[in-house]
Amino acid sequence: MAQRQRKGTPPRQAGGNNTIFYIVLGVIALAGVIAIAYALSGGGARSAATEPIDLQASTAQEIYQQATPVKLGNDNAPAKIVEFADFQCPACGAFALGIKPRLLPYIERGDAQLVYYDFPLGGSHVHAFLAARAARCGGEQELEGVDYWTMHDKLYQEQASWSLEQNAADDFVGYAEEIGLDRRAFERCLNSDRFADVVSANRLLGEQLGVRSTPTVLINNRQVGGRSVQEMGTQLIQILEEIVGTGGGPAR
């Protein structure tokens, strides 16, 4: 005997559960597409390389070939200033902001070339490797008036701020936008492993050459000493003057 249908209750239709199932499945699929699109656009979980990677290099020559410095100045300059530096190192910041500007007249005249190698120390300098990659990500856009050195200087100028952050990547993206870089392109570069091999090779080359601290500065293969960055800068300028033949007098 058929049961009486309750008043106001619509009759149950066959296949109703399947309809609900397919609706839920469609919502899940749509959410997945949105998540993938968000990740590809630079959002979502990050996979940025934040520490040195293993390199397929077994000899000093192979390491040298993989290492890639950033150069400022003429390759034919009589004075080659080589710097191994860590973006999270306060002394490196003092060198970049206090000594490098004093070198620019020599570089612009063609008397000197600055050759910069990344040497992220690790340990408490947890953001140094990512910062080195950030500078290179900034340099790859090749915009007029904005290059590697623009981001290099910005990172050192803001060092006291981002060094204390738990997630410095957000700061780096903000700096990139401030100096005029394409934010999305920079973020895609930073949130990848791009330049991780180069930064790792630079550090490994420094280790092979006996670098143990930063900044380590050499001029024409002669290491520059000093108990402070200021003393190092004074000695560097004196040697530079000797090389370019001004006898320690005023810059030409």
In a domain, 87, yes or no: yes
**C-alpha span between 211 and 131 (Å, rounded):** 19
For residue 214, is it left (φ>0), alpha (ψ between -120 and 50) or beta?
beta
Q: What is the mean pLDDT of residues 15-36?
A: 41
CA nearest to 84, candidates 123, 127, 115, 59: 115
Residue 27 confidence (pLDDT) above 50: no
In a domain, 143, yes or no: yes
In a domain, 79, yes or no: yes
Task: Indicate the pLDDT class of residue 41, thresholds 50, 70 and 90.
Answer: very low
pTM, entire model: 0.78
The predicted pLDDT at position 215 comes to 98
In a domain, 94, yes or no: yes
In a domain, 116, yes or no: yes
The predicted pLDDT at position 2 comes to 39
DSSP 14: T
Q: What is the mean pLDDT of residues 76-83?
A: 98
The total of structural domains in the chain comes to 1
Q: b vs e for 2-26, b when ≥16 Cβ sit within 10 Å of the residue's Cβ?
A: eeeeeeeeeeeeeeeeeeeeeeeee
The predicted pLDDT at position 29 comes to 41
**In CATH, what number is assigned to the domain containing residue 91?**
3.40.30.10
Edge to edge, the sheet with strand 70-72 lists 70-72, 112-118, 79-85, 216-219, 222-223
Q: What is the mean pLDDT of residues 13-26?
A: 44
Q: What is the mean pLDDT of residues 188-200?
A: 96
CA nearest to 132, candidates 190, 184, 65, 47: 190
CA nearest to 127, candidates 190, 176, 185, 189: 190
Residue 93 confidence (pLDDT) above 70: yes
Give residue-wise pLDDT tens across range 153-186: 999 999 999 999 999 999 999 999 999 999 999 9
Range of the domain at 149: 60-244
In a domain, 249, yes or no: no
Give residue-wise pLDDT tens across range 126-144: 999 999 999 999 999 878 7
In a domain, 36, yes or no: no
In a domain, 138, yes or no: yes
